Amino acid sequence: MMNRYAMTDTQSELCALAEKYADAYDKLNKRFTDVPAKEIVYGRGGVCFRRGPFFPGVLDLFIGNASRGRIVANPRKPESCDWRFYLSDGQLVASERYEDGRVSEREFILREEKREIGLSFTLPEHFPPELFFVSLCQYDDAGKLVSYSALLARVTVFWEEWYEYWGDGLIDRAYYRETIATHGTGSQSSHRLLHDENGIVTAYESENGHVYEVQRGKQRRI
């Protein structure tokens, strides 16, 4: 793993969370199962992004062949869906990834003040659960998402998004950074979001000034 002092504060925090919760699956799962009356929502697609349709970031806008997927209302065959989401009081508390008819990954979502922590475990058939992905969302006093950061723990790869907002609450510019800690390499970029009169993102401007249309299925108000 990369030297802690070379990391950003957010990257160091993600590593600390990974160490803290590495062996916490049983405790987290018990806490989850002890909470009654959860609403269940299903989803398809979006397997390139954690949580699929509930992915909190905006990176999907800029990747041509990847999407967040979609919510499926009242599926006739729930086992054919890619995702199962659990909500309590309207807030996402857990998600499950389905492959070949079984749960292959389970994410627990913890909230504390202005932060939201996601802890994703793989669930192999013949081995113990393993924490492989940690995410951290930071919110401001108004509840707007300030940043979304994540760690792929197995290979120590970081993804970080952070945002600048207009006064009306819409995102003006989104920044993205990827760091491969084991190699000490990475990249960073930014995009300015272009909205229509309803606040829907229809295009974005890259750092070199080129404007690209956002695929219609990805357009949304952010």
For residue 220, the 8-state DSSP code is -
pLDDT at res. 50: 87
Average pLDDT estimate for 142-147? 93
- The whole-model pTM stands at 0.90
Q: Exposure string (b/e) for 123-159, b if CB count within 10 Å is 16 or more?
A: beeeeebbbbbbbbbeeeeeeebebbbbbbbeebbbb
Helix (H) or strand (E) holding 108: strand 102-112
pLDDT at res. 100: 86
Mean pLDDT over all residues of the chain?
90
* Domain chopping of the chain, boundaries: 4-165
**More confident position, 118 or 79:** 118
pLDDT digits (tens, 9 = 90+) for 162-190: 999 998 899 999 999 999 987 778 899 99
Q: How far apart are CA 222 and CA 217, in angstroms?
A: 14
Position 221 confidence tier, pLDDT thresholds 50, 70, 90 = very high
Two structure tokens written together for 25? 């699956």
Task: Tell me the residue length of the chain.
Answer: 222
Position 34 confidence tier, pLDDT thresholds 50, 70, 90 = confident
Helix (H) or strand (E) holding 86: strand 83-88
Percent of the chain with pLDDT over 70: 96
Average pLDDT estimate for 204-210? 94
Say how many C-beta atoms besides its own lie within 10 A of residue 168's C-beta: 8
Position 37 confidence tier, pLDDT thresholds 50, 70, 90 = low
Assess contact for 98 and 81: CB atoms under 8 A: yes
Taking Cα atoms as reference points, which of 86, 91, 85 lies closest to residue 69?
Answer: 85
Q: How far apart are CA 213 and CA 28, in angstroms?
A: 41
